[in-house]
A = this chain, B = another copy of it.
Amino acid sequence: MGLIKLDYGVLAILSQSDMSGYDITNRLSNFWKTTHSRVYPVLSKLEKLGYVEHELVEQVNKPDKKIYHITEPGIGALRNWLIKDTQPSIKKDESLLKLISVHVLESDVIIDLLKERMKLVKKEEEFVKKVVENTKAFSNGVVTDTRSNLFNIHLLTQNILSHAQLELQWCEWAVELYRQKTADNFFDIKFNPCKNKEHKN
């Protein structure tokens, strides 16, 4: 029974600090789509393997919780995973899937669709910005310090943020092209976001 990416994701979060399954789910789901109903069984599995352990913490006015911590064998498993081959990333983006067949719609409906996508991406952008703030609050604002063990989280959020911003620029570019669609024709129009407003023809 080998470990899957989700298992390593849980170990990765626990390598940052000790946490309850509830908190692990909240943190991890900022970077990896998952739910508590998946994380709890994963924790049981990892505990059986000796990679994590927990202490029961009794609380007043709140349900009791289990605070998990990673063990030495857990850190070992994490290290082995980190240095071994990485699988290519998987992106399942319904907006882009839809794009394949938008030719069955009128141009103005396509533009509406792209604007809907922009709203979605803006929400994602806002979400990441909140993650940035939460991470800063959690570590008293020293995230961007290269010595902080949350420095990598800073790199991660910057990555996600910049992709969101690129996506918005792409949407604007696409909207503009569909606007001009009825009027004229363009050849070899490349999306070149980093050479601002200088599109090669």
Contact = CB atoms under 8 A, between A and B. Distances in A.
Interface of A: 5, 8-9, 11-13, 15-16, 31-33, 75, 78-79, 81-83, 86-105, 109, 113, 116-117, 120, 123-124, 144-147, 149, 151-153, 155-156, 158-159, 161-163, 165-167, 169-170, 174, 177-178, 180-181, 184-194, 196
A170 B154 CA distance: 12
B113 A147 contact: no
Contacts of A167: 159, 163
Q: Name A's interface SS.
A: helix
Contact of A194 (B89, B158, B178, B193): B193
Contacts of A146: 177-178, 180-181, 184-186
19 contacts: A8-B97, A9-B100, A12-B101, A31-B96, A31-B100, A78-B101, A82-B101, A82-B104, A86-B95, A86-B116, A86-B120, A89-B94, A145-B185, A146-B181, A147-B185, A155-B191, A158-B190, A162-B193, A163-B163
A108 B132 CA distance: 26
A5 B78 contact: no
A113 B12 contact: no
A158 B186 contact: no
